[in-house]
Amino acid sequence: MSASSVVAPPHAPPTSTLGLPPRFAVKFKVAASCPTPGVRAFLVHRRLSALGNVFDLRPALEELKAGRIPDGLVSLELETQGGEAAIRGALANVPEVELVALKEVVLEAAPVAPPVQGSSAAPDLPRAVGHEPARTVRVRTELLDYFLDTVGELLLATARIREVSKVIPQNARPLLEESVDRLHGLVKDLHDKVMSARMTPLAVIMDRLPRVARDVARRRDREVDLVITGAEIELDRAIIDELGDPLLHILRNCIDHGIESAEEREQAHKPPRGRVLVNVRRLRDRVVLEIEDDGRGMDAAKLKAVALERGLITQETAERMTDREAFQLACMPGVSTARDVSDISGRGVGMDAVKRTVENLGGTLEIESEKGKGTRFTLRLPLTVAVVNLLLVQVGEEVFGLPIAKVLGATEADESALSRSRQSPMLPWGTGLVPVHSLGELLEVPAPPRIGLRPYVVMEADTGRVALAVDRLLGQEEAVLKALSRPLDMVPGLSGVTILGSGRPVFILDVPRLLAA
């Protein structure tokens, strides 16, 4: 039998008459009551930057980060193919931010200069065929890695100089700060260019999937349609290099163990041809990759039984497990409910290795399944493994970094203002309530009890919005993400470490994993 494949082309957005993306003038206002205007304005800036290129930002980015925003007004020009709807969508649901003005900037073509009297046009010369000037060069990935590490060290050195500038005499400080700001801007531009050179379309590995699907379908006597969408989305080359084998293993699993034979599908009143959908989409600073089949699904009870038989879980644990938790047992070594053993979906990479690889990249793997309906594997991955923008918070005597991309805002509230739902505190936020978690308790960091107002950071998590209770907000920091080594990489909720300009190491938190631990 065979597998057919369809790769959906990316949508072709309209372009301007000059061949350039449309440009829009955008002005928004941060409410005067907002306790952290810099965080809120920078969040909007990040959302708009994800849509295209930002020009003429006022106030400047450094002023924005520091919260120095006169009258709370921020203006910029945005070059984007998304149109007004995308811009309004980026600002939607951002508390304490109001869109003041939005209009398209009309770019007129420059007039053609008239010919100068007394000059004659150069005769048309034949162009050499096949001798276009080279516009690209090949660069070894090791060299790009070196560039990235070096630029990261430059960013750290710049932050260190900024800290040192705070102790020099006041009269000499403005000139030094201006020079440091200029240096930081140049190094950041250099970093962005290096990162851009490392970005690679997922098509590099997606193009291998149809052949693998056809091979597995033929060997297992299956009829399968493979549909791929979003292959044009780009990821850091370092992530692409690690993602190939796990993705192929999941695809083989879907066809080998998921899709039924034509006879079984007919008995289950399904179309004779199975279907595997690979869908990729970008969600803010993450890429969500879903591999879904319409096969027989997974049996949570069998997974628990196999794990019990192998002594991997206790009977009490099995009884408390939800189906969603039971599906994660498939990622433990030696756990499988396959009725027959084959060499197709086990070529050196098991689901335990798949999960470990994804988590080492700073991502997560989720498994959803319905018996008789199919299974979905969801991989959430960072765009890159380099520089991150952090909101620094203090808990007790410790300082931690929260990724700005997941921060929705911050506020202060008295404990008496919190609502209670089944004994869990809830923080009023916008028009609703969000559950409150003490960051000190989650991390088991000792901290004295707080009385009166305390800061709360509202963030996005896998289950929705959450509020983290902290002791102090210390401001924003652009940090070079460093990977953790053993045994720290085994600690749930830690995604990396960075070094501040003062020389202090700071752990970067992965809040969804911290809450799930």
pLDDT digits (tens, 9 = 90+) for 283-305: 877 899 999 999 999 998 998 89
Please state which of the ranges 4-13, 259-268, 269-278, 350-359 shows the lowest mean pLDDT.
4-13
Element (H, E) at 350: none
Whose CA is closest to 321, among 311, 308, 310, 334? Answer: 308
Q: Is the pLDDT of residue 119 over 50?
A: no
Question: What is the DSSP secondary-structure string of 31-56?
Answer: -TT-S-HHHHHHHHHHHHHTTEEEEE
pLDDT at 131: 46
Per-residue pLDDT, averaged over 171-179, amounts to 81
**Can you tell me the distance from the alpha carbon of 280 to that of 409, in angstroms, rounded to the nearest whole number?**
28
List of residues 6+ apart from 477 with CB closer than 8 A: 159, 389, 390, 392, 401, 498, 500
Whose CA is closest to 410, among 476, 314, 346, 347? Answer: 476
Alpha carbons within 13 angstroms on the beta-carbon side of residue 274 total: 38
- Beta strands 464-469 and 432-438 are parallel
**Cis omega (within 30 of 0) for bond into 59:** yes
- Beta strands 464-469 and 453-461 are antiparallel
Q: Which amino acid is at 361?
A: L
List of residues 6+ apart from 395 with CB closer than 8 A: 439, 440, 443, 445, 447, 470, 471
pLDDT at 3: 59
Whose CA is closest to 1, among 274, 372, 265? Answer: 274
Q: What is the mean pLDDT of the chain?
A: 80
pLDDT at 115: 42
Burial 383-403 (b: 16+ CB within 10 A, else e): bbbbbbbbbbbbbeebbbbbb
Per-residue CA distances from 142 to 149, 223, 309, 443 (Å):
11, 42, 46, 36
Q: Is the pLDDT of residue 384 over 90?
A: no
Could you read off the pLDDT of 187-241 as tens digits, one per residue? Answer: 888 877 887 888 888 988 898 899 999 999 999 899 999 999 998 888 888 888 8
Token pair, residue 488, equals 């720290």
**Can you tell me the distance from the alpha carbon of 228 to that of 249, in angstroms, rounded to the nearest whole number?**
16
Could you read off the pLDDT of 153-170 as tens digits, one per residue? Answer: 787 788 778 878 778 888
Asked if residues 308 and 318 have their Cβ atoms less than 8 Å apart, the reply is: yes
pLDDT at 192: 78
- Beta strands 464-469 and 286-293 are unpaired
**Can you tell me the distance from the alpha carbon of 478 to that of 156, in angstroms, rounded to the nearest whole number?**
9
3-class secondary structure, 7: strand
Name the residue with higher pLDDT: 419 or 330: 330
Q: Is the pLDDT of residue 386 over 80?
A: no
Name the H helices within 260-388.
262-267, 300-309, 315-320, 323-327, 351-360
**Can you tell me the distance from the alpha carbon of 468 to that of 440, in angstroms, rounded to the nearest whole number?**
9
Please state which of the ranges 309-318, 390-399, 417-426, 487-496 shows the lowest mean pLDDT.
417-426
Whose CA is closest to 295, among 377, 206, 208, 378? Answer: 377
Name the residue with higher pLDDT: 341 or 440: 440
Token pair, residue 354, equals 């798949």
CB atoms within 10 A of CB 404: 19
Please state which of the ranges 197-211, 218-232, 248-262, 422-436 shows the lowest mean pLDDT.
422-436
pLDDT at 113: 41
Element (H, E) at 365: strand 364-370
Of the pLDDT bands very low, low, confident and very high (cuts 50, 70, 90), residue 52 is confident
- Assessment of whether the complete model's pTM goes beyond 0.75: no
> Token match 């050196």: residue?
348
